[in-house]
Amino acid sequence: MVSDLDQIEQTALEALGSIQEESALETWRVAHLGRSAPLMQVFDQLGKLSKEERPIIGRRANEVKRALEAAYTQRFNDLRQAALLRSIQLERLDVTLPGRALPIGRLHPANISVRTVIRAFADMGFQVYRSPEVETDEFNFGLLNMPPHHPARDMWDTFYTNMPNVSLRPHTSPGQIHVMRTYAPEPIRAILPGMCYRYEQISARKETQFNQIEVLAVGENITMSDLKGTIADLARRLYGPDMRTRFRAAYFPFTEPSAEYDFECLLCGGKGCAVCAGTGWLEIGGCGMVHPIVLQNGGYDPLKFTGFAAGLGTERIMMLKHRIEDIRYFWANDMRFLEQF
């Protein structure tokens, strides 16, 4: 049987030397090292041999197997190297071609809008102040002149948490109390950007989450004219000198008097569309003079100080600036939309 193993080794090595392709090499491996190969059959017959023959035949069979496996590996590497050399010699590579551009991240359009508005207010002398997105009931409503069970609380479709009297903020107005208590009794000119959350009916102009910027100015001689001038100036800085604005009387418990302000709808040119609900104007936010109770809760003497506050939705500002017809595009994660910015 030793002579049979010698013959198996010689036959396999001769066949291996004539192989020139990787596909044929795999066929050789199955034929000479696979389960049905003659060499493997020798291993299957070891149990039938005598005690004297078994170690001799077993040792020789293992030697043949190791020799064939080493020859197979060497031949495999040789064929791979030869294929690489042929590829280099036959295929042409133009090293002067520019490299492929790597995809890079960009600012989200919602963040672009926030930064654009912040830049405009910074040019007007306002400073940025951050406030929490998760607030207590006291800051969300109580300190803003809405005691428990006040009907005005129904104006905000609030997301409440499992913790008692804790909710996601439905507006950035709680930040007014934070910033006033930080700087009282000094004058304030601040903006408070951040995300707000409401259980809204989603439409082309409303979402359950949106960016808002709270505007707050507190001083000794601040009037409603200052508020209207600031909003009008913001519109001109964002859209140009011909941008029209309007104010409508409204009610907010934390401002008195209160108003809502609109920008002319640039998507339809004032003719009416789904975004402006057919009015030709898009509501940007609410505003008014800070209520004396809110001033007092913030640490200011309402007999000496006055102030104005306004909240504006930055996604709607972006919609007008770039003719975006549906606010849901901002959070749909559609790359066709996002890559335009």
251 and 126 in one domain? yes
Q: Residue 38: inside a domain, yes or no? A: yes
Task: Report the C-alpha gap between 155 and 150 in whole angstroms.
Answer: 10
Residue 278's pLDDT is what? 82
What number of other Cβ atoms are within 10 A of residue 119's Cβ?
11
Who contacts 174 (Cβ-Cβ below 8 Å, separation ≥6)? 131, 132, 135, 139, 140, 143, 144
**Model pLDDT, residue 268:** 81
Which range of 30-34, 67-71, 133-137, 328-332 scores highest in mean pLDDT? It is: 133-137
Q: Which conformational region is residue 269 in: left (phi greater than 0), alpha (psi within -120 to 50 degrees), or beta?
A: left
Give the tens place of pLDDT for each residue, 240-272: 998 999 999 999 999 999 999 999 988 887 788
- For residue 323, the Cα-to-chain-centroid distance in whole angstroms is 22
pTM as predicted: 0.66
Of 59, 90, 121, the last residue of a domain is 90
Structural domain of 42: 2-90
- Residue 222 sits in a domain whose CATH number is 3.30.930.10
User: Partners of 70 in the beta sheet?
Assistant: none
* Cα Rg, the chain, nearest whole Å: 39
Of 55, 90, 125, the residue that ends a domain is 90
pLDDT at 100 over 80: yes
Furthest-apart CA atoms within the chain: distance in Å: 115
Which residue's structure tokens are 């609109």?
262
Of the candidate ranges 76-85, 141-150, 151-160, 233-242, the one whose mean pLDDT is the lowest: 151-160
Q: How much is the pLDDT for 227? A: 96
Residue 96, pLDDT score: 85
Instruction: Please tell me the distance from the alpha carbon of residue 3 to that of residue 289, in angstroms, as a whole number.
Output: 107
Tell me how far apart the alpha carbons of residues 305 and 114 are, in angstroms, rounded to a whole number: 29
Which candidate, 140, 136, 28, 138, places its Cα nearest to that of 76?
A: 28
Local structure of residue 52 (DSSP, 8 states): T
Do 84 and 113 belong to one domain? no
What per-residue confidence (pLDDT) applies to 115?
94
- Exposed / middle / buried, residue 170 (Cβ in 10 Å: 0-12, 13-18, 19+): buried
Beta-bridged to residue 190, according to DSSP, are 127, 216
Say yes or no to pLDDT of 1 above 70.
no
Task: Assess whether pLDDT exceeds 90 at residue 190.
Answer: yes
Residue 293 one-letter amino acid:
I
Structural domain contains residue 259: yes
Structure tokens at 138: 């006291």
- For residue 222, what pLDDT is reported? 95
Strands 166-168 and 134-136: antiparallel
Average pLDDT over residues 303-308: 96
The amino acid at 126? F
- Cα separation, 298 vs 102, whole angstroms: 50
Number of domains comprising the chain: 2
Q: Are residues 62 and 180 in the same domain?
A: no
pLDDT confidence band for 129 (50 / 70 / 90)? very high
73 lies in some domain? yes
Is the domain of 297 the same as that of 231? Answer: yes
* pLDDT at res. 69: 86
> For the chain, what percent of residues have pLDDT higher than 70?
99
Residue 216 and residue 274 share a domain: yes
Asked whether the predicted pLDDT for residue 5 surpasses 80, the reply is no
Residues 170 and 314 in one domain: yes
Residues with Cβ within 8 Å of residue 66, at least 6 apart in sequence: none
Indicate if the pLDDT at residue 2 is higher than 80.
no
Q: Is 216 helix (H, G, I), strand (E, B) or coil?
A: strand
153 in the same domain as 17: no
Dist CA 143 CA 262 (whole Å): 27
Is residue 266 a part of any domain in this protein? yes
- Which of 229 and 150 is assigned the larger pLDDT? 229
Residue 338 tokens, joined: 């996002």
Task: Assess whether pLDDT exceeds 80 at residue 68.
Answer: yes
> Based on the domain organization, do 56 and 173 belong to the same domain?
no
Q: What is the mean pLDDT of the chain?
A: 87
Q: What region, left, alpha or beta, does residue 258 occupy, with left being phi > 0 and alpha being psi -120 to 50 degrees?
A: beta
Asked if residue 95 belongs to a domain, the reply is no
| Tokens coding 22 | 């990787």
User: Does residue 246 or residue 24 have the better pLDDT?
Assistant: 246
* Shared domain check, 301 and 177: yes
CB neighbourhood size of 336 (10 A): 8
Q: Is residue 214 part of a domain?
A: yes
Percent of the chain with pLDDT over 90: 40
Tokens found for residue 77: 């590497």
120 and 86, same domain (yes or no): no
Q: Look at residue 101 and tell me if it is in a domain.
A: no
Query: Quick check: 308 and 288 in contact, CB under 8 A?
Result: yes
Domain end point (choices 56, 90, 124): 90
Note whether 216 and 183 are same-domain residues.
Answer: yes
Is residue 240 in some structural domain?
Answer: yes
On whether both 274 and 136 belong to a single domain, the answer is yes
